[in-house]
Structure 1
Amino acid sequence: MSAVIIGIAGPQLQPQDTAQLKQPACAGVILFSRNYESPPQLQALCTAIRDTRPDLLLCVDHEGGRVQRFRAGFTAIPAAAAFGHCFDHRPLLACQLAEAAGTVIAYELRQYDIDFSLTPILDLADPVSTVIGDRAFHANPAVVAILADALRRGLHKLGMAAVGKHYPGHGRVSGDSHHTLPHDLRDLAEREADLYPFLHQIESGIEALMPAHIVYPHIDERPAGYSPQHIAALRHYGFDGAIISDDLDMAGAQGIADPGERIQAALTAGADVTLMCNDLAAIRQALSRDYHLPDAANSARRLAALRARPIDTASAAAHYRAAQELLQAHAADLV
């Protein structure tokens, strides 16, 4: 049963990578800067992955700003906060530019047969969180929702799904879940603003959401990604898209020592698929076992919706050129 999207070691597919991709538990590949040297190299890598398992999902963190894995040969996408700053002065232009950014992201990634980027960030901007920081659009939840809508329109225009993160909100939490397990001690009423962008995106039909590796003790003593209560709340809100765990290699997820047990805990809580990105030994260990998905048929349906959709090549190229021109013309508005 496909259960985990994995990272691979380098810019070329090695025999051990090929063997791992053929494991039934492997659901896809997430790419990083270590996997990128040049556009031709990336094309060869993605082709090799597709040749090994055409059914795998291919994804990348390509938000823009400091989280953009592919640089040379790709458009430099501004950090989300740049669109928020623009919104404060020229809201209509900010929405147009965020949509253009989504179009550029989708077009450029689709040239390499990559299905989706793990974007947009739906967290609120707050100086307390350095790991989120300028990755967030704005401190105002309504502005976050509006700009995330615009970015999604750009992605959708080029047939790409969107993945909102980090539910139910990471922006007002001081700890970095890459290195520790943060706790958000606020009650639900105090976190209402953080929830708003997620609820809005659920109403708008976003294809996927990613829970945070954060404990919200007023709900559950487990991190959100391991918490049946948090996942059940998403379904109660009407979300029927895919739930993708954050990287289970992160310190915030390592309260469970065994990597396979981390994956199963996230799946049991209600995730449709998990991520394991950087610990190659843990990935090898995790792929060697079987997993149980409580609702396998619906999980498969939700993950299928993350595959890039067919588009008209000529119109896609025209949308891309127009989006690039708009971003270039207004570069001074995105600083």
Structure 2
Amino acid sequence: MPNDHRNGARPPRTLLEQLIKQGEATYEEQAAAFEKAARALGEPATMSVRHLQRLAAGQRTGHATPTTRRVMRQLYGYSLDDLLGPASAAGVATATPAGRASFADELGLPPHEVAEIASLAGHLVDLSVTVDLHIAADGLCSVTYRYHSLNLSDRPVHRAPRDLWFQHSRGKLDLVALREGTTRIALQRMHTADNVAKFACQFSPPIRPGETASFGYRCSGAEFRGDWYWRQQFVRHTRAYTLNVRHEGLKDVGGITATEELPDGTETLAQETISWDYDGDDLIMTFVRDHLEPDQYATLRWEHV
């Protein structure tokens, strides 16, 4: 007999009831969240607490309007039909999150990559990470991060921790959220020192299961003092990584080296994915890697003649 029955607790009757039980909001708060989402989407839909309770219990109350269906999909990440369907007795949703079957078509992924990404269910995956590093002639630099992420978990992602570390800085690092896409972020600072910033990106709206979001931020105030390199750590699965570097006033470069460090510590050369040129007196470099795992590193080094 399942533990739920032995403990006197009733297992969820629908996926919707399961998601509500797994969350930290009451039915009143969930109904309010529905109406807030409806306003944000411009949908003329409402939801009472009683109606939501009846839906969670599996009691269909007539044909749901298209507006209600769209808001439910946005709020919970599943179609209404899936939400009113059964949940697994083991407490794991058996339905397919909305968009998870279609994101491959949306992103134009080949079949072998679809299978690879699908195997990462339960994680937030970075489909792409682009870093733009701009170093002035006096060593002062700014770095801009842009992410395109896919939520393969069964819960909305409200925040994602990040950190930056530099050997040198000119005072405390300055962080600014980018406003380039539909996803808004706030930067919640958790720890800052002159050359270190630990923070979290807070998303509005949250990234729903099966959905993607693009967001980014810019950091300025760091300084390079003659040791020219950028070492990037990957803390989650990353499909594509691009590093763009502009180093002002570096008229002659003596050598450029790229390496990739695997999670087991093995280091390999990655020269084949470097391209570089000059733009006047500025050195411009691009370094790309793909299919990176957590605890991998990619490093680009360059020397001045």
TM-score by length of 1: 0.25
TM-score (norm: length of structure 2)? 0.27
Is the helix fraction higher in 1 or 2? Answer: 1
Bigger RCO of structures 1 and 2 (CA < 8 A, at least 6 apart): 1
Relative to its length, the structure with more strand (as a share) is: 2
Structure number with bigger Rg: 2
